[in-house]
Chains A and B, each alone.
Chain A
Amino acid sequence: MKNKIVLTAAFFAASTFSFAEIALTENLSVGGFVDMSYAHADDDRDNASDSNNNYSLDQVELTFGLDYGVVTAQIDIEWTDANGSAIDQAFTTYDLGNGFKVTAGRYDSMLGFEAFEATGLYQVSKAYESNTNAFAVESFGFIPAVAGPLGNPQINFTASDISSLIAPETNNGVKVTYEDGTQFFGLSLQDGGIFGDNRLGGDSAANNANQGLINSFTGIFNNNQEISGYAVEAAYARDLGNGFNVFVGALFEETEIDQNVNPDVETSVDTTVINAYVTYETGAWLFAAEIMQSEHDIDAPGNALAVDDINIDSFLIMANYTYSDQASVTARISNVDVDNFFDATKFTVAHLYAITDNLAIAAEISTTDYDYERAGSPDGDTLEGAVELLFTF
């Protein structure tokens, strides 16, 4: 349960072939994990209260690895409670030698301090998300239509929409990486970052998973839109010695929306994400600090419904103390600030106890204080608790 901060195992997670595995043959191995949890979430929103308890199998993931010397491949098949079965990652890597590798396929972003999977986290929840609707804005439909980010009355957000505007996740592309004992560099050309359309270039049919999100701030509510885009992602990490590691990365994404109604009107969203974090490990202590700046420039000429540009500044500070061979405690403060629209601060305390090398229990309590900065918008506080059981193989 370690974030991707240990240089030899973390920055390189997206570029190397390292995971738990059972060798089935000389070239084929399999690994994976099972994640289940009991969670309580209480959202004390103005004039309302929502409390939920949930016990569920959250995720099962199988990772197949193929190793043919200089050529390796990895296929991650996951099942999640929310989305069912899917290919999470599938990529092949060619080792050019001297630390250089070329990877093609579908893979996780190199950006972000926190790991994508539960097995890589110190906590149960992620810093910029909530199990409640604190980060969602679907209840804001009654707000009068005015200019300004996310203020359109026709917006049909789903939960955690603000969270999904912060950092890139998994996309299709080709990347070149270099690593040696102390540093890592990666450059990726991909079909998208945050609004990926599952194809590199060209127009895709109007079935983009993020179409609703794009609709919400372009003001275009035509389900026959065609969305195309591409993105470039770059990352650099270095082990400074004495326990310090640093990471800097950036994503530049361009998304074009063709309304299919008026071909003369072209709407586009230019997204820039800047990410940096530093970690410091001394004795049983691990400290981490991250900033993430996400900017979405929306260009919709002649479209009065389009919102202004969206700027999101996020950060986290984390401290982890390992007090025995099997247990550690973690405290984290994280903040998400959407310019002129939303501000949320989350406090998290978590405890991890590893029963064996491949079975652990994580417990967490977190609270989020969120404010919508528009007059008449409800604010709220959340109290969330979770106990998670993780099994890896």
Chain B
Amino acid sequence: MHYPLKYMRITLLNTYAVALIAPVLFAPLCAADADAAIDRMAQLEARLIAMEARLVAAEQVQPVASNVSEARIAELESRLAEAEQETSKVKALAATGGNIPSSSILGRGATFDIMANSAWRKLRWTQPEQWEAVRPGISADAVIDALGKPPRSVKSLKPRVDEVFFYETNLGDRNNSLRGKVSFRKGKVTTVQKPNF
């Protein structure tokens, strides 16, 4: 069968040629992507370090604890929350290795935001280090900040427990899934059962 020239036949030779040419053409783009990601990571880390430094400085200039105003405490907590959010973004970026594809129709910035704000929010409880901040006495909001919104929760029927957050990867397979649990009483953590990482 005869093919016109404009419809190039897919032959072994043509396939080799494309395979050789493609890396040459696209390598600069990938390198540029990786560089941009590293730059962004560096910027975020720098912002995080600066925030933490400001927090430390702010806490050091505080008078004795009894004189600390509620407003000041709220401000510090807000700044700490911002710092923790930045930490999350840095970790999310680090988890991807900085290899965020540039071919997304949304572009680099949008893709990053989706990954940082959505995927990270949902799955950060699967990272063992995220559970280090979850301890008895902290609030439900602090737990959600550290672990993300629980896939399942229940108002406990136990007298000394108000609510339980369940962090589970697979409800149907108890042997091959990560399963963690955080119990609350009056809005504060009472017990923590970490997943068996």
Chain A residues in the interface with B (C-beta under 8 A): 1-2, 6, 8-9, 19-23, 31, 119, 320, 322, 325-328, 352, 354, 356-360, 390, 392-393
Contacts and interface: CB of A to CB of B under 8 A. Distances in A.
Nearest to A181: B187
A358 B164 CA distance: 10
Interface stretch (B41-49, B59-67, B79-87, B149-157): B149-157
A322 B190 CA distance: 16
A356 B152 CA distance: 15
A354 B158 CA distance: 5
B157 A22 contact: no
Q: Which 6 pairs show the lowest CB-CB distances between chains A and B?
A: A360-B157, A322-B159, A20-B154, A354-B158, A328-B159, A357-B156
Contact of A21 (B153, B162, B183): B153
A322 to B, nearest CB: 4
B152 A325 contact: no
Contacts of B150: 23
A2 B159 CA distance: 7
B156 A8 contact: no
B157 A392 contact: yes
A326 B187 contact: no
Contacts of B157: 1, 119, 352, 354, 356-360, 390, 392
Given A8-B186, A8-B187, A23-B149, A2 B162 contact: yes
A276 B176 CA distance: 52
Contacts of A322: 159-160
Interface in B165-188: 183, 186-187
Contacts of B149: 23
A23 B158 contact: no
Interface residues of B, number: 19
B144 interface: no
A392 B155 contact: yes
B71 to A, nearest CB: 14
A19 B155 contact: yes
A20 to B, nearest CB: 4
A31 B159 contact: no
A22 B154 CA distance: 8
A325 B154 contact: no
A8 to B, nearest CB: 5
B30 interface: no
A20 B160 contact: no
Contact of B154 (A1, A2, A358): A358
A392 B162 CA distance: 13
A357 B151 contact: no
A31 B151 contact: no
B152 A326 contact: no
15 contacts: A1-B159, A2-B159, A9-B162, A9-B163, A9-B187, A20-B155, A22-B152, A23-B149, A31-B154, A325-B159, A352-B157, A357-B157, A357-B161, A358-B154, A359-B157
